[in-house]
Amino acid sequence: MQKILDEARAKALAEIAAAADDRALYDLKVKYLGKKGEITEQMKRMRDLSPDARRNFGQLVNEAKEAVEQALEARARGLAENKYARLAESDWLDASLPGIVPPRGHVHPVYAVQRELEEIFTSMGFEILDGPEVETEYNNFEALNIPADHPARDMQDTFWTEDGNLLRTHTSPVQIRGMALRRPPLRLIAPGRVFRYEATDASHENTFWQMEGLMVDRNISVAHLIYFMKSLLREIFKRDMTIRLRPGYFPFVEPGFELDMQCQVCGGAGCSVCKQHGWVELLPCGLVHPNVLSMSQIDPEVYSGFAFGLGLSRLVMMRYGIDDIRHFLSGDLRFVRQFA
């Protein structure tokens, strides 16, 4: 029995020393030390021995087992060292070379233009305000001179919530919140997302961006409004733009205007963006209605002001010649990567 054990031990150590890889080493471990391994099987022979012989033979089996285990560990370390030595020769790395720079993200084109607008207006003394996208009916309609029975509500199809609030249909509610917390003179802008329950096409979306603007002071006139609007477009497009100002009705301004700009997608020739008219509605605006000032505790006999609601999404379309507003929320990386 001892001769058989010695032969198994010697054979195991020789095969382990010659093992070529980790897989071969694992197979040898199973062959000799597994549940049915050649050295493990020797333990079963001990039941046929006397107590003294069993003690001595058990010690020999344990010594053989420890020798094989040590040989396995030593060979595993040697294989690992050889592996890294080969890698050092074949996969040499120059640590002085610059690393791989991961690709950087970039802002959405709407947000990029929004930041430009914010810089333009803050340079002219305007303050940037923010407000909630879920609004009260009072702030979104009533405080803007649009009572419940007013036909203007039909012009702004609304997403209502179960608790009686709504997704704001314009950024004008931020104007109301601003006037409630501040006293004239006021210069405010409020960029943000708005929501309309309407069908989508190349120039209409149910979620889009606007920028509300408000200026309230003594003796504000339409001339102030035109000056700031022309300054805004000139700074954004880096040139004087062809615009037109025509009468428009909005309950929260009096008088009200539609400021249109020549379509930059077709150059005024007519396309799907401008509905073949050559003009794009960009800036509903006007002088703040006295009722709106009164509801904000501002005396319309002393103060006047102008307000505008810039179609920020459409402005970006004109800036970059984008022919479909739906691209902004499409999630198509091919589109947004153009503005990196």
**321-330 tens-digit pLDDT:** 888 899 998 8
Please count the residues of the chain: 340
Mean predicted confidence (pLDDT) in 121-138: 93
Mean predicted confidence (pLDDT) in 188-193: 94
CA 136 to each of CA 145, 160, 176: distance values in angstroms, whole numbers, following the listed order = 14, 10, 11
Could you tell me if 292 and 145 are in contact, meaning their C-beta atoms sit under 8 angstroms apart?
yes
Residue 87 pLDDT: 65
Q: How many CB atoms lie within 10 A of CB 181?
A: 8
Q: Rounded distance, CA 226 to CA 232, Å? A: 10
Q: Any idea which of 127-131, 171-175, 185-189, 272-276 has the lowest mean pLDDT?
A: 272-276
Query: How confident is residue 1, by pLDDT bands cut at 50, 70 and 90?
Result: low
Could you tell me if 256 and 288 are in contact, meaning their C-beta atoms sit under 8 angstroms apart?
no
- Does the global pTM surpass 0.75? no
Mean predicted confidence (pLDDT) in 122-138: 93
Residue 105 pLDDT: 78
Quick check: 95 pLDDT over 80? no
Q: Rounded distance, CA 25 to CA 33, Å? A: 12
Query: How confident is residue 91, by pLDDT bands cut at 50, 70 and 90?
Result: low
Check residue 37 and report its DSSP letter: -
Quick check: 128 pLDDT over 90? yes
Mean predicted confidence (pLDDT) in 175-199: 91
Domain 109-339 top-level CATH class: alpha beta
Residue 155 pLDDT: 61
Query: How confident is residue 263, by pLDDT bands cut at 50, 70 and 90?
Result: confident
- Residue 174, both tokens: 């931020």
In the chain, list all ranges with CATH 3.30.930.10: 109-339
Residue 56 pLDDT: 76
Quick check: 2 pLDDT over 80? no
Quick check: 290 pLDDT over 90? yes
The secondary structure of 54-78 as a DSSP string is: HHHHHHHHHHHHHHHHHHHHHHHHH
Mean pLDDT (the chain, rounded):
85
Mean predicted confidence (pLDDT) in 100-119: 88
Q: Residues 2-7: contacts with CB within 8 Å, 24+ apart?
A: 2/57, 2/60, 4/42, 5/39, 5/42, 5/57, 5/60, 5/61, 5/64, 6/64
Residue 126 pLDDT: 93
Quick check: 24 pLDDT over 70? yes
Q: Rounded distance, CA 14 to CA 121, Å? A: 84
Quick check: 225 pLDDT over 80? yes
Rounded to whole angstroms, the maximal C-alpha distance in the chain is 120
Query: How confident is residue 89, by pLDDT bands cut at 50, 70 and 90?
Result: low
Return the half-sphere exposure (C-beta side, CA atoms, 13 A cut-off) of residue 325: 20
Instruction: Show the CA angle centred on residue 8, arms to residues 22 and 45, nearest 5°.
Output: 120
Mean predicted confidence (pLDDT) in 255-273: 83
Percent of the chain with pLDDT over 70: 93
Most confident of 112-116, 257-261, 280-284: 112-116
Q: Any idea which of 30-39, 136-145, 146-155 has the lowest mean pLDDT?
A: 146-155
Nearest to 140 by CA among 164, 171, 162, 182: 171
Could you tell me if 26 and 67 are in contact, meaning their C-beta atoms sit under 8 angstroms apart?
no
Q: Rounded distance, CA 304 to CA 72, Å? A: 91
Q: Any idea which of 76-80, 150-154, 155-159 has the lowest mean pLDDT?
A: 150-154
Mean predicted confidence (pLDDT) in 104-129: 90
Kindly report, residue by residue over 53-85, the tens digit of the pLDDT: 767 777 777 788 888 888 888 888 887 877 776
